[in-house]
Chains A and B, each alone.
Chain A
Amino acid sequence: MLLLAAMVGCVQVEDRAVTLSNERNSIERTYELTKYLDHQLKEIKDTYLLYLGPPFSDPDFSPPRPNISSLAVPSAATRVDLWRGLENGARLAQNQRAYSVLLCAVRELARSTLCPYLQSSLLHFCSGLSGLLGSISGLMNALGVATDGHAPLTTPALSPRPALNDFTRKVEGFWVLRELQSWLWRSAKDFTRLKKRLRNTVWSHTLHLECAWKKRTHPPQKKRK
Chain B
Amino acid sequence: MCLKTGLWALAVAAFFSQLCCEDTSTHPPKPISRGIYVAIGSSVKLPCGDGMTKGTEWRVNGSMLVSGPVLHLHNTSLEDQGIYTCHSPNGGHIETLHLWMGYAPSPPVVQCWSPSYPLKAVCSWTQTPDPILPTYYIATYWYPRTEQPLVHSCRRESDQDQQCILEELELYATVPHLVNITAVNALGSATRILPILIDDIMKPDPPVNVKVTLQPGRKLHVQWAPPPSWPDPVNFTLKYKVQFQWDKRKTASIMGPYESLSMVRSGLVPGRTYHIQVSAMDFMGQGQSSEWSDPVTITLPTS
Contacts and interface: CB of A to CB of B under 8 A. Distances in A.
Contacts of A84: 235
Interface stretch (A22-30, A51-59, A180-188, A214-222): A180-188
Tell me the dominant secondary structure on chain B's binding face.
loop
Given A80-B118, A192-B235, A65 B169 contact: no
Contacts of A188: 283-284
Contacts of B168: 79
A76 interface: yes
Contacts of B118: 80
Contacts of A77: 170-175
Nearest to B143: A77
A185 B195 contact: no
Interface in A148-194: 175, 178-179, 181-183, 185-186, 188-189, 192-193
A179 B174 contact: yes
Contact of B199 (A35, A75, A179, A185): A185
Interface in A3-57: 35, 38
Contacts of B20: none
Interface string B118-130: 1100000000000
Contacts of B234: 196
Nearest to A60: B195
A65 B169 CA distance: 19
A196 B199 CA distance: 21
Given A79-B169, A182-B172, 18 more contacts: A38-B284, A62-B195, A77-B171, A77-B172, A77-B173, A77-B175, A78-B172, A83-B171, A175-B174, A181-B174, A182-B173, A182-B174, A183-B172, A185-B172, A185-B286, A186-B172, A189-B235, A192-B237
Q: 5 tightest A-B contacts by CB? A: A76-B172, A186-B172, A77-B173, A80-B118, A182-B172
Interface of A: 35, 38, 62, 65, 75-80, 83-84, 175, 178-179, 181-183, 185-186, 188-189, 192-193, 196
